[in-house]
Amino acid sequence: MRLWQKTGLVALIVVLAAGATLWWLPARWALPWLQRSLPGLRLQQVAGTLWNGRAGHVLADDGEVLGRAQWRLSRMALLGRSQLWLDVTGSRLDLRGEVRRLVDDEVEWRNVAARLDLAVLSDPKRRLLPLRLRGELALRTSRVLLQGGWPRDGEVVLVWRNAALKTRFGDVSLGHLDAQMTAQDGIVHAQWHATEDSPLRARGTLAASPLGWRAQAELQARADAPLLQRWLASLGRPDASGILHLERHGGLAAAPLPEKAAP
């Protein structure tokens, strides 16, 4: 056999072996990429391949099992174009969507639908939020771009169902709250309101950037709700029509508030 034929055969064998190796890479090779896409969560009982994998346990940082996960990674990742389809399912957390890593600190999420039991964030063992919240938060977005974990561009719809807040007066029911959030060039603007069937009549706006935030709200109890009324009274004095006006801000610099939503 001529030398060039032997060389070509060896090259073909090497290419086929490399391709087979890449095709059957174990799922654990995807863990570093997945962990960066799911901050604060850990995956265990990982099986499958790099391209089609699953995790039997999705864990919070304290070890609580929140659900299980499946993913499908595009083979275009071999060319540096990482695109992942992710599906996390559990009693306290659901998340479905596509995620692409654009540069080191930029991640783009598309066609996302998520649901989270807020007790996960406000559990005393974690206290990821300054307030102890109850209820279920649902999120939908067709596209949002995150830079360093902060929304840079995109729109998100949020729904807080069976909203409640743990206070020194007890658990205060707020009803159902809807919000729309828009991010542009790293500045986040949001408008929110309580639905008509909620015990709380409320609307508000929020502006935030990595440097600071500013929020304002108008709150009023709709009916006889002693705990809700006591909590509102602890926040300030209402005006002559019974509406409590709040404005809060923090950080080094806050973005200007958007125009108020219509009643």
Stretch 221-227: mean pLDDT, rounded? Answer: 85
Stretch 181-193: mean pLDDT, rounded? Answer: 95
- Beta strand pairing call for 200-209 and 212-221: antiparallel
pLDDT bracket for residue 215 (50, 70, 90): very high
Stretch 150-178: mean pLDDT, rounded? Answer: 93
Stretch 182-199: mean pLDDT, rounded? Answer: 94
CA distance 229 to 109: 40
Question: Can you give the pLDDT at residue 5?
Answer: 45
What pTM does this model have?
A: 0.78
Q: Do 72 and 87 form a contact (C-beta atoms < 8 A)? A: no
Tens-place pLDDT, residues 39-62: 778 888 888 887 788 888 888 877
